Structure 1
Amino acid sequence: MESKYSKWYHPYKISKDYSKKAAYFSMEFGIDQALKIYSGGLGFLAGSHMRSAFELKQNMIGIGMLWKYGYYDQARNEDQTLRTDFIEKTYDFLEDTGIEVEIKLHDNPHVKVRAYVLKPEIFGTVPIYLLSTDVEGNDFISKTITNHLYDANNLTRISQSIVLGIGGAKVVEALGGADIYHLNEGHALPAFYYLKDQGVKKKQMVFTTHTPEKAGNEEHDARHLNRCGFFGRTYSEEELGKEMVNGSMINYTVSALRFARKSNAVSKLHSVVANDMWKDFDGISKIIPITNAQNQLFWQDDVIGKAWTKGNAKAYKARKTELKSELFQEVLEQTGKRFDPNVLTFVWARRFAGYKRADLLLHDLERFHKLISNSKYPVQIIWAGKPYPFDYYAIDIFNHLIHHSKNHPNLAVLVGYEIDLSRKLKCGSDVWLNTPRITREASGTSGMTAAMNGSVNVSTNDGWIPEFEKDGENCFVLPTIDYKLPVWEQDKIDANNLYEILENKVIPTYYDTPKKWQDIVFKAMDDVIPEFSANTLADKYYKELY
C-alpha cells in the first residue's frame, strides 16, 4: 500500500532555517485529549514540540508508539478512591502507512512492527509515525508489547524500547533516512546501537535527558539485554564489556550520552545537576541546557491572551470568572461541591510522584485547617494528577487526599487528569502550586501553561522556576533550602515556608490589593511568553543541538 506518508513527506514548504531532516523518538506524545498515548510531562513536552515544529515549518517527524490501552483511564471506586481502568482505544484518524518492518525480540527473529501516521492536518503537528506490534502474523505475546505505556512487566518494558528504537529506526530508513536522530529520554536507546551498525555517524545522534530520578534512568543487566535483542544483533562478551557500567549493567542514560554528539538537559539548573550526576563516566557528551517549553497556541485561552496583549484587566477578570465557573462545574459533577468563582482557588495538579509532594499542604494539619477555615480570606483547593498505576505509595497519597477532602466543602480531588482537565485547571485556577523537593524536578512545565492563563505560580525554586522567577513580581517562591538535608527535615521547612507565604503574601495580596495581583498575573505572562513557548524551544533544538 503506497501512500505519500510512506516516504519522508511534509504538506508544507520547509523553512530554510530548519532544513535538516530530524527524526524525534519519544515513548509518549501528548498531542490531543483524543489521542491517549501519553502519561504526563514528558508527553506534554513532546506534543508541544511537534506542534511548534509544524508552526515553524521544520523538516521533522516524530516516532512514537501506538498504545492499545493508552496509559490508563482514571476513575473511582465506590468509596471515591482511585480506580485504574484499561480500555482499548481505536483511532479512525490514523492512517496505515503500509510500512512494516521486522525486528528480533528474544528468540523470535520475525516480530512485525507496523507504522501508522498522524497526519499534520489532523492536529497541527509534524507527521508522527506510531508503531504497533498488534499485527496479523505476530504471536500472542508479541502482539501485546504495544498494549500499555510503561508496562509493569520488566521484559515487556525492554521489548517496548526495542520496538521504539530499532523498529522506529527501520521505519525512518523506509522513509528515506534522517540527518539527525534525536532521542527524547533514553527509552529508544536501541536505535543508537542499530544505527551505528548501519553507518550512521556520531554527529547525527543527539539526546535529551529528562530526569534526575533513579527510576527515570533505566538500568538492566547487559547479558540479559543481549539475549533480548537490545543491540540489534548479538554482541560478543568483549563488545558488551565496553558498554557495561556499575558492574554488569547497561545504563540507558550513560549509553545515550556516550553515543550522542551533543545532549541537552531540560533547564539550566538541571544541566548543572545532570553534568554533576554523570561526570564520573568516561566518553559522555557535553550536556547543554535547553529548557522545556509549551505550545502557546494550544495551551493559552484566546480571550485571556487578547486581554493580556491589550493590558485589559477588566476583560481578563471577566474571562477568568467564566473559566473558573467552567472548572467548578467539573468539581460539582465529580464531588458534589459548589465552589465559588469569587474565592481564591489553589490547584496542585501534575503526575503524582513522591518527590512532588502533593500532600505538603497537609504537613501541619492544625495550620492547614486554620488556613482553609479563615472566613476573612476564604480559599478553595483542588488536587488532580495521575499516579503510576502500580505506584502504591503515590496512590495512597492520592486516596489520603480524597478521604481528607470529603469533610471539607472547599477541598476537592479530581480524577481523569488528562489534557482537557489539565487545561481547565490551568485556566480556572488563581494559584498554581508546585512543591517538588529541590533538584528533583528537572524542568516541570505545568507552571508555564498555568502562567499563560493567569494562574500565579507558588513554587519551590526548582526546575525551570529559577530562570523565570521574580519573587513577588511574577510569582511567589519558597526560600531555597539545603537539598542535602534529610527528606523529612526538608518537608518540614518547606511546609512552614509554604504556609508563611500563603498566609502573609499570596492570600492578602489577592484580597487586599487586587491591582497588585493583576500586575503579577500580566507580568508572569510577559515573562513566560515567548521565553517558555515551544516555538522558542523548537528553534533552539535546531540551532544549538542539531
Structure 2
Amino acid sequence: MKSEYSKWYHPYKPAKEYNKKVAYFSMEFGIHQSFNIYSGGLGFLAGSHMRSGFELKQNMIGVGMLWKYGYYDQARNEDQTLKVEFNEKHFDFLEDTGIEVEIKLHDNPHVKVRAYVLKPEIFGTVPMYFLSTDVEGNDHLSRTITNHLYDSNPVTRVSQSIVLGIGGAKVVEALGGADTYHLNEGHALPAFYYLRDRGVKKSQMVFTTHTPEKAGNEERDARHLNRCGFFGRTLSQEEIEKEMVNGGKINYTISALRMSKKANAVSKLHAIVANDMWKDYEGVSKIIPITNAQNQKFWQDETIKKAWTKKNIKAYKKRKTELKTELFDTVLQQTGKTFNPNVLTVVWARRFAEYKRADLLLHDFDRFKRLLSNQKYPIQIIWAGKPYPFDYNAIDVFNHLVHQSKSQPNIAVLVGYEIDLSKKLKCGSDVWLNTPRITREASGTSGMTAAMNGSVNVSTNDGWIPEFQEDGKNCFVLPALDHHLPTWDQDNIDANNLYDILETKVAPTYYDNPEKWQKIVYQGMDDVIPEFTTQRMADDYYKKLF
C-alpha cells in the first residue's frame, strides 16, 4: 500500500517564501544517533539543514542512501587501538513508500532501487527518501551497492553515485518532480546528466562544493563512466569529449559547476579558494559563499541556553560542571581514567583527515610533555574522531595517540565518534581545538556547536573562523602564516603558536581570570547565534541559490 509520501507531500503548508519545490541530494545525512548512516561533517551539515527546513516549513525533501552497514562502527582491538567493525543496521522508523525505479548499471539494464521514507514526525526533518538496492529480484552484486558508505571499491563507488543520482532523480519524478534540484557535493552528479536529457533546465540545477581537497573532488576516466551507465545513457564519442577535462577524465565538481545555474562554497574564504581553483575551466558557474551552520535547537543544551539568555553565571557554571561530569563518565568507561571537572579540558574531535592535523599538539614532544605536566595550570586533553576505515595513515595517527595516552593520566582517546559522543564533547569541553592547515578546511562546523555550548574555540584562521573570530574576545586564533610554505614549516610555526596560546593565554585566563573567561564564553555564544545556525543558512539557500 502506498502512503501519502508516495507523492510530493508535507504535513504542513509550506511558507510562502519557501514555496519552491526543492530536492536536496546528499550521500550522507547525520540526523540522529540511532540513524547512523553518516561519516562526518558533510552528514552533520545536511542533517541540520533538513531539521531547519522543517522548522521553517520549507517545501523541500531530502534524497539519500540507506546504507545497510552504515559507515562503520568504531571499536577497539585488545591493545586499545582502532578496530573497524561493519554491523548490519535496522531502522524500524523508516517506511517503504512503494516507489521502486529501475536503473542501468554496467551491463545490467534492470537494477531495482527502492525508496524508504523518513517522515517528518520521527526526527523533525523535512520528508526524506532513502534509496536501497538490497531489493528482491536484484542479483547479489547489485544488492551490495548500498552496503557501505564510501565503499573502497572504485566500481562500487561509481555505482553508488548512479543509484543516488539517477535512482534519486527517478524517485523525485515519481513523487511529482521538483522545481530545483540541489546536489550537496558532487556524489550525485549523474542526476544532472539524467535530468538534462529529460528537459530539466540549467536554471533548475544548483550545486554546493564542500572541499578544496583534491581527493574530495572526484575525477574518473570518462569512458569507464560511460560503460558504467553514469550518464543515464551511452554518450557518443563527440558527446563524451565535450564532458572531458584533464586528459580524458570527468571531474565531478567541474561537471556540476558547468551544469548548474549557480553554485555555492561553504564559507567566504572557501568561495575565494574555490573560484580560484576552477577559474581556468570554461563554462563553470559562479560560486557564491553560503557559510555552513548547525541546528541550534538540536545541538545546544537547553539549560546552557537559559543560563546564557539570562546571563546567569552561577546557573551556567553549575550546568557546565554537570556536562563535564557526564563526559568524564564516558572517559572513565572507555579508558579507566578519572578526569576532574575543575580542570581545563581541551577537546580535538572531528574526522581524522591528514590536513586537520589531529597530532599537531605532539609536534614538539618536549613542549607537549611540559604542557601536560604543568602543575600551576593543569590540563586534560581528549581526542575523538573517525579515520576513513581504509586510510591507514590516519588510523596510524589515531593509534599513535592511543599509545601516548596510555602513559599519561590526563589524556584520553575515545572511540564511537558519532552524534551522541559529539554532543557530549561539545557540551563538556572548555576548549574546542581546531587545527587544519590554512585554506584546506572549506568550513568546518564542529566549532559552531561547541561555541553554542560555551566551549571556547582555539583555532587556525580557516574555514568559517575568519567570519566569526575576535581573537581574545570570543575565541583564540593562531597568527596567520604563508600557506604556500612547505607543510613541515607550516606545522612547525602553527605548533609553536599553539603551545604559546595555550600556555600564556588560554590556561592563565581560565584559572587566574575566571570573569574574563566567562566573558569570552558568552561572547562566543552571542556571536555564533544566530549567524551560524541553520535557520539562517536554510533561509540563505532559498534566497541566494534556489
SS of the residue corresponding to residue 530 of structure 1 reads coil
After TM superposition, where is structure 1 displaced by more than 2 Å over at least 4 residues in a row?
A: none
Q: State the distance in 2 between where 1:95 and 1:183 align.
A: 24
Q: State the distance in 2 between where 1:106 and 1:446 align.
A: 39
- The 5 A counterparts of 1:165-244 are 165-244=165-244
1:340 is matched with which residue? Answer: 340
Q: Give the deviation of 1:307 after TM superposition.
A: 0.4
Q: State the distance in 1 between where 2:165 and 2:313 align.
A: 49
2:261 is matched with which residue? Answer: 261
Deviation string 1:511-530 (CA, Å, 9 cap, x unpaired) is 00000000000000000000
- The 5 A counterparts of 1:61-80 are 61-80=61-80
Q: State the distance in 2 between where 1:72 and 1:413 align.
A: 18
SS of the residue corresponding to residue 32 of structure 1 reads coil
Deviation string 1:386-428 (CA, Å, 9 cap, x unpaired) is 0000000000000000000100110000000000000000000
1:135 is matched with which residue? Answer: 135
Q: State the distance in 1 between where 2:222 and 2:416 align.
A: 38
1:401 is matched with which residue? Answer: 401
Deviation string 1:336-374 (CA, Å, 9 cap, x unpaired) is 000000000000000000000000000111111111101
Q: Give the deviation of 1:308 after TM superposition.
A: 0.4
Q: Give the deviation of 1:334 after TM superposition.
A: 0.3
2:487 is matched with which residue? Answer: 487
Aligned CA RMSD, in angstroms, stands at 0.3
Q: State the distance in 1 between where 2:354 and 2:15 align.
A: 43
Q: Give the deviation of 1:3 after TM superposition.
A: 1.1
Q: State the distance in 1 between where 2:302 and 2:507 align.
A: 27
Q: Give the deviation of 1:182 after TM superposition.
A: 0.1
Q: State the distance in 1 between where 2:14 and 2:465 align.
A: 34
1:2 is matched with which residue? Answer: 2
1:496 is matched with which residue? Answer: 496
Q: Give the deviation of 1:13 after TM superposition.
A: 1.4
Give TM-score scaled by structure 1 length. Answer: 1.00
1:534 is matched with which residue? Answer: 534
2:465 is matched with which residue? Answer: 465
Structure 2 portions without partners, runs of 5+:
none
Deviation string 1:473-506 (CA, Å, 9 cap, x unpaired) is 0000000100000000000000000001001100
Q: Give the deviation of 1:463 after TM superposition.
A: 0.2
2:415 is matched with which residue? Answer: 415
2:24 is matched with which residue? Answer: 24
Q: State the distance in 2 between where 1:98 and 1:290 align.
A: 36
Deviation string 1:192-231 (CA, Å, 9 cap, x unpaired) is 0000000000000000000000110000000000000000
Matched AA of 1:516: K
SS of the residue corresponding to residue 291 of structure 2 reads coil
SS of the residue corresponding to residue 432 of structure 1 reads strand
Give TM-score scaled by structure 2 length. Answer: 1.00
Q: State the distance in 2 between where 1:289 and 1:510 align.
A: 35
Deviation string 1:89-130 (CA, Å, 9 cap, x unpaired) is 011100000000000000000000000000000000000100
Deviation string 1:226-278 (CA, Å, 9 cap, x unpaired) is 00000000000000000000010000000000000000000000000000000
Matched AA of 1:497: N
Matched AA of 1:390: F
Q: State the distance in 1 between where 2:481 and 2:197 align.
A: 47
2:48 is matched with which residue? Answer: 48
| Pairing 1:543–2:538 present | no
Q: Give the deviation of 1:2 after TM superposition.
A: 1.8
Q: State the distance in 1 between where 2:440 and 2:212 align.
A: 6
Q: State the distance in 2 between where 1:36 and 1:109 align.
A: 31
SS of the residue corresponding to residue 400 of structure 1 reads helix
1:299 is matched with which residue? Answer: 299
2:476 is matched with which residue? Answer: 476
Matched AA of 1:296: Q
Q: State the distance in 2 between where 1:14 and 1:542 align.
A: 13
Q: State the distance in 1 between where 2:215 and 2:158 align.
A: 14
2:57 is matched with which residue? Answer: 57
Q: State the distance in 2 between where 1:224 and 1:360 align.
A: 40
| Pairing 1:361–2:385 present | no
Q: State the distance in 1 between where 2:37 and 2:81 align.
A: 24
2:431 is matched with which residue? Answer: 431
1:451 is matched with which residue? Answer: 451
Q: State the distance in 1 between where 2:91 and 2:492 align.
A: 47
Q: Give the deviation of 1:536 after TM superposition.
A: 0.3
Q: State the distance in 1 between where 2:450 and 2:167 align.
A: 37
1:310 is matched with which residue? Answer: 310
SS of the residue corresponding to residue 84 of structure 1 reads strand
Q: State the distance in 1 between where 2:367 and 2:457 align.
A: 21
- The 5 A counterparts of 1:106-185 are 106-185=106-185
SS of the residue corresponding to residue 62 of structure 2 reads strand
Q: Give the deviation of 1:384 after TM superposition.
A: 0.2
1:103 is matched with which residue? Answer: 103
Q: State the distance in 1 between where 2:286 and 2:376 align.
A: 54
Q: State the distance in 2 between where 1:3 and 1:331 align.
A: 45
SS of the residue corresponding to residue 131 of structure 2 reads strand
Q: Give the deviation of 1:148 after TM superposition.
A: 0.1
SS of the residue corresponding to residue 530 of structure 2 reads coil
1:523 is matched with which residue? Answer: 523
SS of the residue corresponding to residue 129 of structure 2 reads strand
SS of the residue corresponding to residue 324 of structure 1 reads helix
SS of the residue corresponding to residue 381 of structure 2 reads strand
Matched AA of 1:531: E
Deviation string 1:272-315 (CA, Å, 9 cap, x unpaired) is 00000000000000000000000000000000001000011110
SS of the residue corresponding to residue 168 of structure 1 reads helix
Matched AA of 2:249: M
Matched AA of 2:212: P
1:250 is matched with which residue? Answer: 250
Q: Give the deviation of 1:446 after TM superposition.
A: 0.2
Moved more, 454-463 or 368-377: 368-377
SS of the residue corresponding to residue 472 of structure 2 reads coil
Q: Give the deviation of 1:430 after TM superposition.
A: 0.1
SS of the residue corresponding to residue 330 of structure 1 reads helix
Q: State the distance in 2 between where 1:426 and 1:253 align.
A: 32
Q: State the distance in 1 between where 2:528 and 2:214 align.
A: 30
Percent identity, aligned pairs only, is 81
Q: State the distance in 2 between where 1:304 and 1:407 align.
A: 34
Matched AA of 1:20: K
Deviation string 1:179-199 (CA, Å, 9 cap, x unpaired) is 000000000000000000000
Structure 1 portions without partners, runs of 5+:
none
2:38 is matched with which residue? Answer: 38
Deviation string 1:31-59 (CA, Å, 9 cap, x unpaired) is 00000110000000000000000000000
